Amino acid sequence: MFNFAFIVAIFVTFLLCFTEDIYIDTSTMRVYSVWESMFQFNRTFMESNSSFCSLLVFEKTLSGYSAMFLPILASFPFVYSQSCERNSGNIRYTIFRTNKYLYYGSKFFCAVISGGLCIMLGVMLFGIFAFFVFPSPNESLSFDMAMYIPDGIGIAIMKKLFSAFIYGCANTLIAFFLTSFCRNRYIVLCIPFLIRFIQDTAIRKITMNIYNSDILQKIYPFQSYAVSQIPYLEAGKKLYSTLTFMLIYMALMLIGYILIMECRTDKGE
């Protein structure tokens, strides 16, 4: 899990967090990203507007360009590692020396955990940066702690990090499945990105003219960002349906990987 690609994924995630939009100038309707805000506004102005509160800046991560490239970033460590293993020519030896199902399970574990960790650590690094550069909740004059963080700053930070972790885990599953029959690392990385784009576009078109809350609730688990909202959802149908969809999705990817690997006489080499 911990290789050169893992470090790259963390660093790129950290950099993409600077592209998130955090402030809208209502007089000109111009949107400012984190990077622009750092150079456009002084400390006094930031302290007078809750949009620049470091906690809110931290919580807006993985909502713009970082979320768009998440399938590539989360999958990069595992795909890089899998590519190196295939080039070594030792897959069959590894499988028959131990146990093939243990091998499949370890690959699934590494893919999911490495994807979740690299995204979480990238977001965490950005959060540390934001807490030093932007006003803290106590310094932000218009920040209502009781309204924004009723459970406290610590719980809010833990929820965001857990959200980033499971978001990363979910976004590496397609790449994991593709490695069972595709050797080209570029295809394995790009197809999840294209699927994410198609999924977001389709859901946006479907929900554009739907105002029925029951229908929207049924569609919600199929949205790409739904899994990231699990830590913020209250116990109810929306939470349970999202968890159920996620578990079924994970099971299908793992079963599909095992079935394809079992049908291959070369065991993926």
Within-domain flag for 268: no
Q: Pick from 74, 70, 78: which is nearest to 108 by CA? A: 78
DSSP state of 20: S
pLDDT confidence of residue 90? 67
Question: Is-contact 121 24, C-beta < 8 A?
Answer: no
**Taking CA 81 as the corner, what is the angle to CA 245 and CA 260, rounded to the nearest 5 degrees?**
50
Cα separation, 28 vs 20, in Å, equals 19
Report pTM.
0.88
Q: Pick from 261, 269, 263: which is nearest to 103 by CA? A: 261
Question: Is-contact 167 119, C-beta < 8 A?
Answer: yes
CA distances to 27, 77, 140, 215 from 113, in Å: 45, 10, 36, 33
pLDDT confidence of residue 161? 94
Question: Which are the contacts of 91, defined by CB distance < 8 A and separation ≥ 6?
Answer: 85, 267, 268, 269
Within-domain flag for 215: yes
pLDDT confidence of residue 184? 85
pLDDT confidence of residue 214? 78
Question: Is-contact 131 18, C-beta < 8 A?
Answer: no
Within-domain flag for 180: yes
Within-domain flag for 269: no
DSSP for 62-110 reads SSSHHHHTHHHHHHHHHHHHHHHHHHHT-HHHHHHHS-HHHHHHHHHHH
Buried b (16+ CB within 10 A) or exposed e, 222-232: ebbbbbbbbbe
Bridge partners of 30, per DSSP, are 25
Structurally, the chain folds into a number of domains equal to 1
DSSP for 211-254 reads --HHHHHHHGGGSTTGGGGGGGPPSSHHHHHHHHHHHHHHHHHH
Within-domain flag for 191: yes
pLDDT confidence of residue 269? 53
pLDDT (tens digit, 0 to 9) for every residue of the chain, 269 residues total? 668 889 999 999 999 999 999 888 888 888 999 999 888 888 888 888 888 888 889 988 998 888 888 999 999 999 988 877 776 666 666 666 777 888 888 889 999 999 999 999 999 999 999 999 998 887 776 666 666 677 788 888 999 999 999 999 999 999 999 988 888 888 999 999 999 999 888 888 888 877 777 777 888 888 888 899 898 888 778 899 999 999 999 999 999 999 998 887 665 55
pLDDT confidence of residue 1? 62
Within-domain flag for 10: yes
Within-domain flag for 45: yes
**Domain span including residue 24:** 4-263
